[in-house]
Amino acid sequence: MKAVRFHEHGGLDVLRCEEVPDPEPAPGEVLVRVRACALNHLDLWQRRGIPGVPLPHCPGTDIAGEVVRGEAPGVGEGVRVLLQPGISCGRCVACLNGRDNLCRSFGLVGHQSEGGYAELVTVPVENVVPIPDGIGFAEAAAFPLTFLTAWHMLVTRAQLRPGETVLVLAGGSGVGQAAIQVARAQGARIIATAGSPEKIERTKELGAHEVIDHYQEDIAREVRRFTDRRGVDVVFEHVGQATWEQSTKSLRRGGRLVTCGATTGPVGSLDIRHLFTRQISLMGCYVGSKGELLEAAELFFEGRFAPVVDRTYPLDEAAEAQRRLEDHAQFGKVVLVP
């Protein structure tokens, strides 16, 4: 089969589209023909050299396709599926309590295993989620990691309620567009940020009530203007160092900040006195459980969630696809179509 791998860490030039042996599923696994694989920033960090990635490596966490061989009822040959991105042991207390993303061995397809920048991939049978015929593979691949993360952050962790106000950083990003849709489904008022006139308009079309230009405007000041100086109930943070101070300043007293990423850097300062006197809650989030994915997928299959696909690329143009993500040129998800 064809697969895109890197044999060393570095720039876009280290990505190679090459012939490799077809993978063979182990007991308890299924073989899936990849029809679409959406990109994530994790792919960029792996290629650049985050620890724990064996070489050579094939990235790609968000995958949709068709089962080639399977061992469980309902996932036989030809079944159209998306893949749960998280891998866990299935035996520990966290897994058995339905909190598999807290498993000590929790990892991601395409990070702790070979991923979807390929024509075929193997995954545990528990990771297979059948999809209706009316849903396209590109949209299905654009769904799992971003919508699962947004659901875990806003519904499970922040417990966003109808009528509350949420600030979504970078509403045009993959996880940002998912957060807007999840917040809209929860009945929240949404303030989002975006970085260009085109992205601002498209973010409004997604459901944001107000949009702040995060390059030209002071986020916290605009939030106070939109909320009559009260601040927001919840901040959906995934940008990191560049927006951390503005995010914490945007919270009302008793507000909650949920964070899942640090794409602009891992260091953020906080005046501890503001933390306790304003009674702020800070919550770290990492992906979500399979149960949460299935909850969110029901809304996807009903048409209430619509993952935004920015652009598709063939497998041999994976470097150009990553370049688009690296340049922040996308709105929504960039997707490879083997």
pLDDT tens for each residue of 29-68: 999 999 999 999 999 999 999 888 889 999 999 999 999 9
In a domain, 45, yes or no: yes
In contact, 167 and 63? CB cutoff 8 Å: no
pTM flag (> 0.85): yes
Whether 18 and 117 map to the same domain: the answer is yes
Residue 72 confidence (pLDDT): 67
Which CATH number do you get for residue 222?
A: 3.40.50.720
Position 9 pLDDT exceeds 90 = yes
pLDDT digits (tens, 9 = 90+) for 145-178: 999 999 999 999 999 999 999 999 999 999 999 9
Whether 210 and 166 map to the same domain: the answer is yes
Q: At a CB cut-off of 8 Å and minimum separation 6, what does 253 contact? A: 231, 278, 279, 280
Ramachandran region of residue 210, left (φ > 0), alpha (ψ -120 to 50) or beta? Answer: beta
Q: At a CB cut-off of 8 Å and minimum separation 6, what does 215 contact? A: 195
Number of domains the chain contains:
2
Residue 297 confidence (pLDDT): 98
pLDDT digits (tens, 9 = 90+) for 14-33: 999 999 999 999 998 999 99
Whether 269 and 311 map to the same domain: the answer is no
Which CATH number do you get for residue 120?
A: 3.90.180.10
Residue 217 one-letter amino acid: E
Whether 128 and 173 map to the same domain: the answer is no
In a domain, 96, yes or no: yes
For residue 25, cis peptide bond before it (omega within 30 degrees of 0)? no
Q: Which domain holds residue 205?
A: 147-284
pLDDT digits (tens, 9 = 90+) for 165-218: 999 999 999 999 999 999 999 999 999 999 999 999 999 999 999 999 999 999
